[in-house]
Amino acid sequence: MQFAQFASYLHDIETVSSRLAITEKLAKLFSELHTDELAVVPYLLQGRVAPAYRGLEFGMAEKSLLKAAAQAFGLDLPDVARHVRTTGDLGESVETLRRAFMSMEEKTLSIAHVYGELYRITQATGEGSQESKANILAFLFTQLDPLSCKYLCRIPLGQLRLGASDVTILDAVSWMLVGDKSLRSKIEKAYQVRPNLGYICAQVVKMGVDVVETISPQVGTPILMMKAERLSSGAEIIKKIGQCMVEPKYDGLRLQVHIQKYKVQGAEHKEQVPNDKKYSVEIYTRGLELVTHMYPDIVDAVEREVGCTNAIMEGEALGYDETTDTFLPFQQTIQRKRKHDVAEAAKRIPLRFMAFDLLYMNGESCLHKPLVERKAQLQSLIASDASTIRLSPHEQVTDPHRLEALFDQYIGEGLEGIMAKRPESVYKPGAREFSWVKLKRSYSSKVNDTVDCVVMGYDAGKGKRAAFGIGAVLVGVYEQSAQRYLTIAKIGTGMTDEEWKTLKANSEKRIAKSKPDEYTVAKEMECDVWVHPHIVLEVRSDEITQSKIHTSGWSLRFPRLERFRADKRPHDATTKDEIDTLAVSQKN
């Protein structure tokens, strides 16, 4: 198709606003395109030359376009700028100016030709590139008709605004084939595996709609990521999905890592392989953004810690503090998502990549395989002594209490909660279903009141905390009738270095040789160091939930220190009766 004809379609589409009308007009346009054209037109309709995840940008500001117009029509830049101010639309100005220079001979340029030139613009980099980009456009302005010029200049400016979203384009393909949108969901399934619009559209038209059944993942094309539903208790989760695989829910950055071994066939090819690297690696975000350059440490770790011909794996990247052996909060991890000073940030905030799924390996799609199989394969991919790329732990659970205990454990480790996944579930790109269920602490922020707890003991810390000599601290409430202390939480995070030091100093004065008699503590909660009842901490939590492990019968979800209550004696701490009432009122 000639670009001029394409431009008149764009003009036609611009006159309508309902999605249905746009879909119909796009379908008509598609029906007149050659399949090769259909592979690129979806991108032109969106003001691009390739899928957004390729990161090919025009990098042209309005000023460069003004220059191109001035150059093409032999005008001064201020004159063009003034004209644009009067019309308020650069596209319209270029159209009018082109009309005024009708003496220039129009050429019949094809869509393919113009696309090729636009592609060249995205490839120009470095010194003088703004000029070469403007030159390319200027030359096109001199060759194309006025209407084509109008739409051409809107493409690099991202001002087409035709309402041609990915979904509308898929609707239009369905409309072209059967006159309605009924095939869209079928085509969309393929698009979710390979969100390369041009490729999908061209394939469907060339091979028929059943081709979508055969479309499988491709290393270097991000797959739409699967999402989770939410429930608010272990019991609800087990009731809904039965036996499940429970993993920690990390509060980091979801990344999809694409790995392809370089094919080194001979000396000649070897030169193209950078620094004798084994793998070409690409990293994508949940929004399908290519972010490889932000994570050089993950790229390096793939070299050392992964073994395959090719693979696509998914996981969560988190900042990691090697001295304390703990993950960093999201606010720190997110500092790794930056374009500049990447090396410095990587040094300051080293990452762990907690891999939890495998979508493709050694030339074979894993999407249709049950989760248990994908996990097993993922394990085979990662070296057992890997340090940056880790297999996320998982446990098969059928008992809601066990699920809650894991939730408490991970919250205690400063994580976000848990993910419970159906062991037999396949990976459904882009879907949000009950095959994955999240249980997060933030949904259960139901406790308005704080609880005053007595420090009963603590565990020796790891890493940096080992220097403090204190890690997690066991706290309890007081049962007046039996005059006993019953456990309610183990606090492992949320305290400043200063607070840890104070707690340690205060505890040291009250250390007990063995567990004090007035303590009732389950075996799982035994501490390295016991402390006589003396120190009272005011503790905030998200929820009070029933517990089989804590002897008060309750557990505080996501407990964190509000302040030291030096003014309170241990008998003044919150009592078991008060907790019972608090838990009931929270429920109501």
3-state secondary structure of 313: strand
The contact mask relative to ligand AMP for 339-378 (x = CB under 6 A, - = no) is: -----------------x----------------------
Q: According to CB under 6 A, which residues from 430 to 469 bind ligand AMP?
A: 438
For residue 228, state whether it binds ligand AMP (rule: CB under 6 A): yes
State the number of CA atoms in the 13 A half-sphere of 264 facing the CB.
13
Which of residues 47 and 417 has its CB atom nearest to ligand AMP in the complex?
417
Calculate the alpha carbon distances from 40 to 36, 139, 268 in Å.
Answer: 7, 21, 33
Which of residues 262 and 330 has its CB atom nearest to ligand AMP in the complex?
330
- CA dist 458 and 376 (Å) reads 36
| Least distance CB 166 / ligand AMP (angstroms) | 19
Task: List the beta bridge partners of residue 418.
Answer: 248, 439
Q: Which of 25, 249, 421, 428 is catalytic?
A: 249
Does 249 qualify as catalytic in the annotation?
yes
Q: Which of these, 312, 303, 282, 304, lies nearest to 294 by C-alpha position? A: 282
- Which residue in the set 34, 54, 107, 254 belongs to the binding site for ligand AMP (CB under 6 A)? 254
Q: According to CB under 6 A, which residues from 380 to 399 bind ligand AMP?
A: 392
- CA dist 543 and 547 (Å) reads 12
- Other C-beta atoms closer than 10 Å to the C-beta of 228 total 18
| Least distance CB 253 / ligand AMP (angstroms) | 7
395-397 and 473-479: which strand pairing?
Answer: unpaired
Q: Which of these, 365, 375, 377, lies nearest to 429 by C-alpha position? A: 365
- Which residue in the set 250, 353, 360, 458 belongs to the binding site for ligand AMP (CB under 6 A)? 250
The rounded Cα 427 to chain-centroid distance in angstroms is: 16
| Least distance CB 91 / ligand AMP (angstroms) | 38
- CA dist 422 and 410 (Å) reads 20
Which of residues 146 and 417 has its CB atom nearest to ligand AMP in the complex?
417
| Least distance CB 223 / ligand AMP (angstroms) | 13
User: Of the ranges 68-76, 127-135, 243-251, 267-275, which one interacts with ligand AMP (CB under 6 A)?
Assistant: 243-251
For residue 259, state whether it binds ligand AMP (rule: CB under 6 A): no
- Compute the C-alpha angle 459/460/463, nearest 5°: 130
- Which residue in the set 286, 501, 515, 568 belongs to the binding site for ligand AMP (CB under 6 A)? 286
| Least distance CB 329 / ligand AMP (angstroms) | 14
For residue 484, state whether it binds ligand AMP (rule: CB under 6 A): no
User: Of the ranges 5-13, 249-257, 288-296, 507-515, which one interacts with ligand AMP (CB under 6 A)?
Assistant: 249-257
Which of residues 177 and 411 has its CB atom nearest to ligand AMP in the complex?
411
Provide DSSP, 316-365: EEEEEETTTTEEPPHHHHGGG--SSSHHHHHHHS-EEEEEEEEEEETTEE
Backbone angles phi, psi at 580, to 5 degrees: -55, -45
Give me the residue whose beta carbon is nearest to ligand AMP.
Answer: 254
| Least distance CB 438 / ligand AMP (angstroms) | 5
- CA dist 411 and 566 (Å) reads 27
| Least distance CB 248 / ligand AMP (angstroms) | 6
Residue count (the chain)? 588
For residue 115, state whether it binds ligand AMP (rule: CB under 6 A): no
| Least distance CB 463 / ligand AMP (angstroms) | 22
Q: Which of these, 475, 313, 283, lies nearest to 390 by C-alpha position? A: 313
For residue 543, state whether it binds ligand AMP (rule: CB under 6 A): no
Which of residues 438 and 490 has its CB atom nearest to ligand AMP in the complex?
438
> What is the b/e burial string over 10-22, where b = at least 16 CB atoms within 10 angstroms of the residue's CB?
beebbeeeeeeeb
Which of residues 420 and 454 has its CB atom nearest to ligand AMP in the complex?
420
Catalytic residues: 249
Residues that bind ligand AMP (CB under 6 A): 227-228, 247, 249-250, 254, 286, 316, 356, 392, 419, 438
